[in-house]
Amino acid sequence: MAYIGRSPADAALTSADIADGSVTNPKLAGSISNNKLLPLANSTLENNSVTYNTVAVALGASGTISTTETQPVFTSADVSVITNAQSTIVITGQNFTSIPNVVLVNNSTGQRFTADETAFNSNTQLTCKFTISLDGVYFYFIQNPDGEAGISGSTALTVSDLPAWQTAAGSLGTFAAGSDVGTISITATDAASFARTSGTLPGGLTLNTAATTATITGTESGSTSATQFAFTITATDAEGQTSPQAFTIDISVGATGSTQFN
């Protein structure tokens, strides 16, 4: 059989042997393998480059590209302990941009509380309002709108209930002048200490404190007429939170003489 053009046995094939459009995908399928494709040499790429953050790096070359983004940095807050009620916190730091997302993260459970409100005061100060329902220790997570974020130390904020008074405010009783009042107990949950912060106790009486219970003991002395003594006792918890309560003790004085009518 005679062949028109080049013989199949002829391994040399030039572009002149292939008419435009005559090579189709089916004819190429499976015929080109990786070892038939030579890798591009660096010298082929050296006249091209990519630019990132104003730094141009040639293709096929190596270089160091430093990013220009800066993370927000937490430095301090104006309070370290809050209650479960909504609280305002002023945060100081660096690299804040308007307006960051500020979140408190529980150090034990990981539960997150996003700020109710965040005001951007400057790139070094934010004012946030938080309502935290779970007591515990929290750290701050602050994320700028560009996605850059920073966190505080794990002990940045403690959420704790105030001492809760179990002894009702008001009168602790009426006692006769010169009498031993026995033991008057005053209690508040979560209290670490008690102190009289205003007013006076009747003469001879002393406030004693231990754990969550305070007591007033002693023998009254010095009263010559019926007198009401008003005073305030403040309970303080382990986090330094205080809760005051107002009390009174009445001292009565009996008749000192008699009158005879005829």
- Domain of residue 125, CATH code: 2.60.40.10
CB contact burial 214-225 (16+ within 10 A = b; e otherwise): bbbebebeebee
Instruction: Select from 109, 141, 159 the last residue of a domain.
Output: 159
- Phi, psi at residue 42, to the nearest 5°? -55, -35
Whole-model pTM: value is 0.61
Please indicate, yes or no, if residue 20 is contained in any of the structural domains: no
Please indicate, yes or no, if residue 101 is contained in any of the structural domains: yes
Instruction: Name the β-bridge partners of 184.
Output: 216
Please indicate, yes or no, if residue 64 is contained in any of the structural domains: no
Same domain, 153 and 172: no
Same domain, 189 and 115: no
Give the model's pLDDT for residue 213.
Answer: 85
**What tokens appear for 131 in the block?**
């309502």
Sign of the C-alpha dihedral computed for residues 242, 246, 247 and 253 taken in this order: positive
Same domain, 169 and 136: no
107: domain range? 73-159
Same domain, 196 and 220: yes
Please indicate, yes or no, if residue 236 is contained in any of the structural domains: yes
Please indicate, yes or no, if residue 81 is contained in any of the structural domains: yes
Please indicate, yes or no, if residue 50 is contained in any of the structural domains: no
Please indicate, yes or no, if residue 100 is contained in any of the structural domains: yes
Instruction: Select from 133, 159, 185 the last residue of a domain.
Output: 159
Same domain, 182 and 232: yes
In the chain, the number of structural domains is 2
Same domain, 170 and 116: no
Return the closest-CA partner of residue 209 out of 191, 221, 197: 191
Same domain, 203 and 153: no
Give the model's pLDDT for residue 74.
Answer: 97
SS3 of the chain: the string is CCCCCCCCCCCCCCHHHCCCCCCCHHHHCCCCCHHHCCCCCHHHHCCCEEEECCEEEECCCCCCCCCCCCCCEEEEECCCEECCCCEEEEEEEECCCCCCEEEEEECCCCCEEECCEEEEEECCEEEEEECCCCCEEEEEEEECCCCCEEECCCCCEEECCCCEECCCCEEEEEEECCCEEEEEEEEEECCCEEEEEEECCCCCEEEEEECCEEEEEEECCCCCCCEEEEEEEEEECCCCCEEEEEEEEEEECCCCCCCCCC
- Cβ-based neighbours of 8, under 8 Å, separated by 6 or more: none
Same domain, 89 and 146: yes
Same domain, 173 and 154: no
Instruction: Select from 159, 180, 195 the last residue of a domain.
Output: 159
Same domain, 170 and 140: no
Segments in the chain below pLDDT 50? 1, 3, 256-261
Same domain, 148 and 176: no
